[in-house]
Structure 1
Amino acid sequence: MAKRTATSPIEKKGRNILLEMALIIALSLLFYLSIPIKSYAIVYIPKGALKTALSHLHALESPTPPINTLDLWILRLMSALHLWHTPERGYVAIPISPNNTTTKGDFLHALSLSKVVYKDITLIPGETLYFFLRHLAKVFHLKVEDLEQVYNAKALWADGAIVPDTYRFTLGISTQNLMGYLLKHSQEHYQKLSEQLLGNYDPKKWQQTLIIASIIQKEAANAAEMPLIAGVIYNRLKRHMPLQMDGALNYGAYAHSKVTHERIATDNSPYNTYKHKGLPKEPVGSVGLDAIKAALFPAKTPFLYFVKTKGGTHKFSVNYKEHVRAIPKF
Structure 2
Amino acid sequence: MPIYNNETDEIIIKKKKTSKALVIFNIIELFLIAIIVILFYVTIPLTSTKVLYIPKGSTNNIISYLNKTGFEMNIVDKVILKNLGYIQSGWIDINENKLSKMDFLYKLTTSKAALKSITLIPGETSYIFLKQLAQRFNLSEEKLFEVYDKHAYKIDGNILADTYSLPYGMKEEHMILYLFSQSNKRYQALSEKIFGYYDKRKWYNYLSLASVIQKEAASIDEMPIVSSVVHNRIKKGMRLQMDGTLNYGKYSHVKVTAQRIREDDSSYNTYKNVGIPKDPVCAVSLNAIKAAIFPVKSNYLYFVKDNRTGLHKFSNSYAKHINNINSNRGVKKEYTKIKNNEDEIDKEAKTIMQSDISSQKPTSIKELWGNVK
CA contact (8 A) 1:95 1:110 kept: no
What's the counterpart of residue 53 of structure 2?
Answer: 44
SS of 2:13's equivalent?
coil
What's the counterpart of residue 238 of structure 2?
Answer: 241
1:222 to partner: Cα distance: 1.8
Amino acid at match of 1:186: S
Q: How does 1:1-330 map to 2 (within 5 A)?
A: 1=10, 2-5=12-15, 22=33, 26=37, 30=40, 33-35=43-45, 37=47, 39-57=48-66, 66-68=70-72, 71-79=73-81, 82=83, 84-85=84-85, 87-96=87-96, 100-113=97-110, 115-137=112-134, 142-173=139-170, 175-198=172-195, 201-255=198-252, 257-261=253-257, 264-265=260-261, 268=264, 270=266, 271-309=268-306, 310-330=308-328
Amino acid at match of 1:285: C
SS of 1:163's equivalent?
coil
For residues 170 and 228 of structure 2, what CA distance do their matches in structure 1 show? Answer: 43
For residues 49 and 181 of structure 1, what CA distance do their matches in structure 2 show? Answer: 28
Amino acid at match of 1:46: P
What's the counterpart of residue 63 of structure 1?
Answer: none
CA contact (8 A) 2:94 2:111 kept: no
For residues 202 and 105 of structure 1, what CA distance do their matches in structure 2 show? Answer: 54
1:216 to partner: Cα distance: 0.2
Question: Is 71-80 or 198-207 further displaced after alignment?
Answer: 198-207
- When residues 140 and 311 of structure 1 are mapped into structure 2, their CA distance, relative to the original with a 3 A threshold, is same
- When residues 178 and 258 of structure 1 are mapped into structure 2, their CA distance, relative to the original with a 3 A threshold, is closer
Amino acid at match of 2:89: R
What's the counterpart of residue 5 of structure 2?
Answer: none
Amino acid at match of 1:311: T
Q: Deviations over 1:178-212 (max 9, x none)?
A: 44344344334434534543465543333222111
For residues 191 and 299 of structure 1, what CA distance do their matches in structure 2 show? Answer: 24
SS of 1:3's equivalent?
helix
1:145 to partner: Cα distance: 3.9
Question: Is 275-284 or 104-113 further displaced after alignment?
Answer: 104-113
SS of 1:92's equivalent?
strand
1:313 to partner: Cα distance: 0.7
1:317 to partner: Cα distance: 2.3
Q: Deviations over 1:19-57 (max 9, x none)?
A: 7x9589839x837853453x3211111123445434545
For residues 135 and 160 of structure 2, what CA distance do their matches in structure 1 show? Answer: 20
For residues 143 and 34 of structure 1, what CA distance do their matches in structure 2 show? Answer: 39
For residues 67 and 266 of structure 1, what CA distance do their matches in structure 2 show? Answer: 63
CA contact (8 A) 2:303 2:315 kept: yes
SS of 1:315's equivalent?
strand
CA contact (8 A) 1:45 1:54 kept: no
Amino acid at match of 1:264: R
CA contact (8 A) 2:60 2:78 kept: no
Q: Deviations over 1:246-299 (max 9, x none)?
A: 2212222333x2524377357625223334443222101122333223223333
Q: Deviations over 1:160-191 (max 9, x none)?
A: 12333444555445555544344344334434
Amino acid at match of 1:45: I
CA contact (8 A) 1:118 1:171 kept: yes
CA contact (8 A) 1:55 1:67 kept: no
**5+ unaligned residues in a row in structure 1: which ranges?**
61-65
SS of 2:222's equivalent?
helix
**Structure of higher CA gyration radius:** 2
SS of 2:221's equivalent?
helix
CA contact (8 A) 1:76 1:86 kept: no
For residues 3 and 172 of structure 1, what CA distance do their matches in structure 2 show? Answer: 69
What's the counterpart of residue 6 of structure 2?
Answer: none
Question: Is 138-147 or 314-323 further displaced after alignment?
Answer: 138-147
CA contact (8 A) 1:308 1:315 kept: yes
SS of 2:324's equivalent?
helix
SS of 2:313's equivalent?
strand
TM-score, L = length of structure 1: 0.74
